[in-house]
Structure 1
Amino acid sequence: METQVQKVQKVLVHLSGGNAAAQCARFVQSITGHFGGQDETQVGCYLDNNRFILSQGAGQRVPLKRPAFCPFKHLSVTQAAAIPLDVQDRGVDVAVAVILQTTNQRVLLTRRAAGLRIFPGLWVPPGGHVELEETLVAAGLRELHEETGLEVEQNDVSPQILGLWESAYPARLARGSPFRHHIVTYMLLHCPHTHQELQVCLRPDPAEVSACLWVDRDLARSIVGGADGEEGGLQPPPQSSGTPQLTLGVTEVLPDGALRGSLLPGAVLCARAPAEGPDVERVSTGTKYALGLWLDSLAPRQSSSTAGGNLPVTSRPFSTSRTKPTPTMDRSVVSRTPQRWRRTAGGPGCPARAPGRTWSR
């Protein structure tokens, strides 16, 4: 009974097949593998009564992918049984990560703080768990604000689902048995401001973020070129016109929340996940996948009937209602809690500065 109570206290992944009722996914279950033997597939997804339901039924679909080294792909029966019961009872959590695209086609990445329990020191988009009664867009906007200080009004952004990612931590069995399992929704938000306008509004939380970086298309191509596979390594991709410069300017977040400019070797962002040993500072594998989808979204459309990802959220059945929604759902259902841009002296979307807080550049 205690486990059942726990499971209704957070949004979890449920799997639906045929006419059968959706079932809560098991922690040790490979979600991508459930829909086929490959590392990438297409699924339908929607929120219903605090359940994130994945299916391969009729209707619009988005890509779902896992890394080739995903622990849940390679987990043996013996290894699965050895995972503590309190971890197995967690189920598969639901998260959203925001690909915030500016009018001059930059997207924001943040480096996770060193003190975080999972994926410390990796470069990722802002994001986190979806809370009860929350939509994906509302969750993304909330996490964006909590981590970076940017407040974005729902009506000011045009959301799209890029794709889903099956995430585990530790990311490889060589580093130990997994104790976290997520399906991450990468949400593209088109923002009506340049990255320069948003930069002056950044107020990152030092407990979660240690640095910020605006990524353009050329840098994204280089990062995606260093895709992680079965064989790890720290070598960046071969030199090309798209290879990042020797050093990049980033915004470092100091322990007291102050910001200062810093330099980062470009090769760090192209580093690949090592096959063994401790992890290194790099762009996370899922983020590389998301950046590749983002680059695809910038390419000219070949046909308006193209299937797959990059579909507007408003055309997808996302809801927290008890009745399964339809693709014609009104936009108001997508966003439960509107956010607002604050018009202050600091620029569009800037929150008021806390008294006595120092912001160095």
Structure 2
Amino acid sequence: MSLSPQRPPFCPAKLGGATRGGRGAHAGVAAAVAVLLEAACGRVLLTRRASTLRHFPNLWVPPGGHLEPGEELVAAGLRELAEETGLRLEPGTFSWNLLGLWESLFPPSLSWGPPRCHHIVTYLGLRSAEPQQRLQARLCPSPCEVSAVAWLEPPVLEAIAATEDGAEGSGSGPGPFPGELPATVGITELSPHGFRSSQIPTGILLRRAPARGPDLERVSTGTKFALGRWRAGPGRGQRE
């Protein structure tokens, strides 16, 4: 596996954009970690970012965030998982593997303005020995960061990974929609009164990043990269 950071074809860094400092921006390039948590049944947890967040609102992503000084990757991933979803994994109940590095800038395209933050994200795959139902019962997402959660099945995850952002002529519509996929997927939304089970069209998760105009609810480009590595990795979950 190459440990060089990957990035989308429309990445401002690739096109010569420089990270600018400013109000609420991070100077230079910051380190971050994100975790794809896989339950024993093979479903993977994604979260929808809160609409009030400054960076990437309403996008579906794995739990993640900044590394603290001196913090190890797995410890940081477990901390972010707990802070964002309330899930705490005990030692010996999961295995992990490194999926890859991703260069992330916001806004993700120069057509939306100059970059305001710049991260190198390490994606980790965590495979829990626990069933999805037990993990779901312990979920307590932070409403400041998360507006919904979903445990997605492998066929949906594979279709998401196959949807390429930034391909010439791809537009912002949904990517390939295999006939065997369900028309909708179940999610758990946060509301002022607690959790609410809901359904969203599967096509929302297959949307491509728009080249211009307002962003859409979709799966982030970096998450698609990580899901592609998760799907292809025969060594998934081999390291403690």
**Contact 1:69 1:230 survives alignment (8 Å):** no
Residues 45-98 of structure 1: per-residue CA shift (max 9 Å, x gap): xxxxxxxxxxxxxxxxxx53110000011126xxx49x3478997121111101
**Contact 2:104 2:121 survives alignment (8 Å):** yes
Larger Rg belongs to = 1
Gaps of 5+ in 2: none
Q: What residue in structure 1 maps to residue 139 of structure 2? A: 202
Indicate the RMSD between aligned Cα atoms, in angstroms: 2.3
Q: What residue in structure 1 maps to residue 189 of structure 2? A: 252
Q: Distance in 2 between matches of 1:169 and 1:103?
A: 34
Q: What residue in structure 1 maps to residue 46 of structure 2? A: 109
Q: Distance in 2 between matches of 1:180 and 1:238?
A: 31
Aligned residue among 91, 94, 97 for 1:160? 97
Query: Comparing both chains, which one has the higher relative contact order based on Cα–Cα distances under 8 Å and sequence gaps of 6 or more?
Result: 2
CA 1:88–1:239 in structure 2 vs 1: closer, same or farther (change >3 Å)?
closer
CA 1:176–1:202 in structure 2 vs 1: closer, same or farther (change >3 Å)?
same
Find out whether 1:289 has 2:225 as its counterpart.
yes
Find out whether 1:221 has 2:158 as its counterpart.
yes
Aligned residue among 59, 62, 68 for 1:131? 68
Deviation of 1:235 (Å): 2.6
CA 1:168–1:199 in structure 2 vs 1: closer, same or farther (change >3 Å)?
same
Q: What residue identity is the alignment partner of 2:12?
A: P
Q: Distance in 1 between matches of 2:103 and 2:189?
A: 29
CA 1:165–1:262 in structure 2 vs 1: closer, same or farther (change >3 Å)?
same
Q: What residue in structure 2 maps to residue 42 of structure 1? A: 2
Q: What residue in structure 1 maps to residue 206 of structure 2? A: 270
Summarize the alignment of residues 1-361 of structure 1 with structure 2, pairs less than 5 Å apart. Answer: 42-43=2-3, 64-75=5-16, 80=18, 83-84=20-21, 90-231=27-168, 232-242=170-180, 244-255=181-192, 258-297=194-233, 299=234
| DSSP-derived class of the 2:2 partner | strand
**Contact 1:206 1:255 survives alignment (8 Å):** no
**Contact 2:46 2:150 survives alignment (8 Å):** yes
Deviation of 1:101 (Å): 1.1
| DSSP-derived class of the 2:5 partner | strand
Deviation of 1:313 (Å): 5.7
CA 1:89–1:98 in structure 2 vs 1: closer, same or farther (change >3 Å)?
closer
| DSSP-derived class of the 1:73 partner | coil
CA 1:84–1:190 in structure 2 vs 1: closer, same or farther (change >3 Å)?
closer
**Contact 1:230 1:275 survives alignment (8 Å):** no
Provide runs of 4+ in structure 1 moved above 3 Å.
Answer: 83-89, 310-314
CA 1:179–1:85 in structure 2 vs 1: closer, same or farther (change >3 Å)?
closer
Q: TM-score, normalised by structure 2?
A: 0.91
Residues 197-218 of structure 1: per-residue CA shift (max 9 Å, x gap): 2111111011100000011210
Deviation of 1:229 (Å): 1.4
Deviation of 1:239 (Å): 3.9
Q: What residue in structure 2 maps to residue 355 of structure 1? A: none
Q: Distance in 1 between matches of 2:69 and 2:161?
A: 33
